[in-house]
With several copies, the nearest count.
Chain A
Amino acid sequence: MNSQHLKNIVEAALLAAGHPLTLEQLTALFAEGEQPAREELRSALDELRQDCGQRGIELKEVSSGYRFQAKEAFAPWVSRLWDERPTRYSRALLETLALMAYRQPITRAEIEDIRGVAVSSNIVKTLLEREWIRVVGHREVPGRPALYGTTRQFLDSFNLKTLNDLPPLAEIRNLDELSKDLFEDLPEAEFIIAGLPDVAEDATHDTVASAMTTEQHNHTP
């Protein structure tokens, strides 16, 4: 067998296998009588290793055989493939956050009472992980429920100096009349608009879309 041909078969097999292959396994790809000698295989592997010099992958011999792998040097880019994509927050989460900001310190039960529906533990967990809220105490009633309040991180995320910079409740109730320049220079808003087409499949797309509509509506005199 032509050595180029052998090399190609070995390369194709190693890359298609998805796991390391031993010399025996590589030999077994060939029919009886056509099987390459060990030295032929080894020199094909050697050549493949050298060919990788300028490439993004390398050929490694590990305990269970030979395998191609992405070079370590490119890991910072390649590993972004597995970054968890941002999903939109649900309306329930945003409502919970808003109530925690305006009615803090507040328990989950009180939020549920106002919203009329249960607040899932996941929502609270997400808000805690994001460090937008924290437990500031416990209400001394049976079960000692946690009291939540917002954090400095929350203020920073929304470009606020103090909670007082949030619009008063009366304005919220008439949000349509809310001055548009309040939101004009929020950098995040642009990000969301730019990113919108990518979340087309997202379950919460509707919410976003309706928020967008409202916003656009506000902007149109």
Chain B
Amino acid sequence: MSGRLSSTANVESQVAGIAASTVETPQQQELPFAMVNGEAMALQPQDLYIPPDALEVFLETFEGPLDLLLYLIKRQNLDILNIPIAEITRQYMVYIELMKTLRLELVAEYLVMAAMLVEIKSRMLLPRPAGVAEGEEGDPRAELVRRLQEYERYKKAALDIDTLPQMGRDVFPAQVDKPDAQVFKIAPAVTLHEVLLALKDVLARADMFSHHHIQLEPLSVRERMSNILNSISAEKFTEFTTLFTIEEGRRGVVVTLLAILELVKETLIELIQTELFGPIYVKVPGHVNELAAS
């Protein structure tokens, strides 16, 4: 930070030096022209030589042509609404000359402004045609003044923002360790309606392909199929009759039977009867030594 401050100071004095040569402010004249690497550079008024390093500092110090113009205006305590275009242009051109000698690629924007200043100056020189009412053509400076004011307010706003208390610079968030406690995972709520709407969509999509025409058995059968599958294993034979629950009545027995038949059809189970009229066993097909994963 101190580095930046002192380089700004360098430019101030350097700029003051230029000012001394152009506007003749006597009290500034004994200051060194610029400080470069800690050495005072003497002003050489003949060719206005500026060491390259100092010019870079200069270019970094001004945020473009509007900033430089504002500086020139402020330094002379001039009202922005009443800029002496000729004089400001002359001073501005001195800076441009300085820049041109060194870093042309950096100064394109400054040259555009120079052109604008010269244009304003030339328009002001033209005699106003008789008969044209005052203000009809507009003051040639108006656009420049508008831009300068516009830029100035945001330049000021930038400084204002920089003075706001800033997190990590002026204020720091206060924080304590979080307590050790269990973190709960909250599962989202779902309505049946959402599930059914999803199903409707998927059926509508599947219906578009004829080979996917989905026929659904009564849900009680599908449910029973799951339950039967879950209750039998590949390791042992389950007796057919144990799958039925008499308490469910005729209806329940029918559902179970349909479920078993459907499971057989889908080859999800095997029915085995080793002897005629012997007990029927139900088994998951496949190797007996395989464990059902679950």
Contact = CB atoms under 8 A, between A and B. Distances in A.
**Is there a direct interface between A and B, measured as CB atoms under 8 Å apart in the complex?**
yes
A175 B142 CA distance: 7
A105 B226 contact: yes
B162 A89 contact: yes
A210 to B, nearest CB: 7
Given A97-B158, A137-B284, A164-B218, A211 B226 contact: no
A195 B146 CA distance: 32
A75 to B, nearest CB: 4
Contacts of B155: 91, 95
A215 interface: yes
Interface in A73-115: 74-76, 78-89, 91-92, 94-95, 97-99, 101-105, 113-115
A173 B200 contact: yes
Nearest to A57: B174
B284 A116 contact: no
Interface in A157-203: 157-160, 162-164, 166-173, 175, 177-180, 182-183, 185-186, 188-189, 191-193, 195, 197, 200-201
B173 A68 contact: yes
A136 interface: yes
Given A75-B169, A115-B154, A178-B145, A86 B229 contact: no
Interface string B173-207: 11111111111111111111111111111111110
A86 B193 contact: no
A182 B198 CA distance: 16
A175 B81 contact: yes
A211 B222 contact: no
Interface stretch (B11-19, B58-66, B92-100, B273-281): B58-66
Contacts of A182: 124, 139, 192-193
A169 B153 contact: yes
A67 B192 CA distance: 41
Nearest to A186: B86
Given A16-B172, A115-B63, A164-B220, A102 B167 contact: no
B239 interface: no
Given A75-B181, A210-B115, A186 B188 contact: no
B294 A116 contact: no
B157 interface: yes
A41 interface: no
A219 to B, nearest CB: 10
A114 B119 contact: no
Give chain B's interface secondary structure class.
helix
B60 to A, nearest CB: 9
Contacts of B154: 95, 98-99, 102, 114-115, 169
Contacts of A113: 212
Contact of B194 (A18, A84, A94, A114): A94
Interface size class of B (residues with CB under 8 A): 35 or more
Given A166-B161, A169-B203, A95 B63 contact: yes
Contact of B219 (A94, A166, A205, A212): A166
B85 interface: yes
27 contacts: A75-B181, A79-B183, A84-B183, A86-B166, A86-B186, A88-B1, A94-B197, A94-B198, A95-B158, A98-B154, A114-B212, A138-B284, A149-B226, A163-B219, A164-B219, A169-B154, A172-B199, A178-B82, A182-B193, A186-B85, A188-B190, A204-B119, A204-B122, A211-B197, A212-B119, A214-B115, A215-B193
Interface of B: 1, 4, 63-67, 80-82, 84-87, 109, 112-113, 115-116, 118-119, 121-122, 124-127, 134, 139, 141-142, 145-147, 149-162, 164-206, 209, 212, 214, 216, 218-220, 222-223, 225-227, 229-230, 232, 267-268, 284-286, 290, 292-294
* Those 5 A-B pairs whose CB atoms lie nearest each other, nearest first: A149-B226, A211-B115, A117-B64, A79-B181, A185-B84
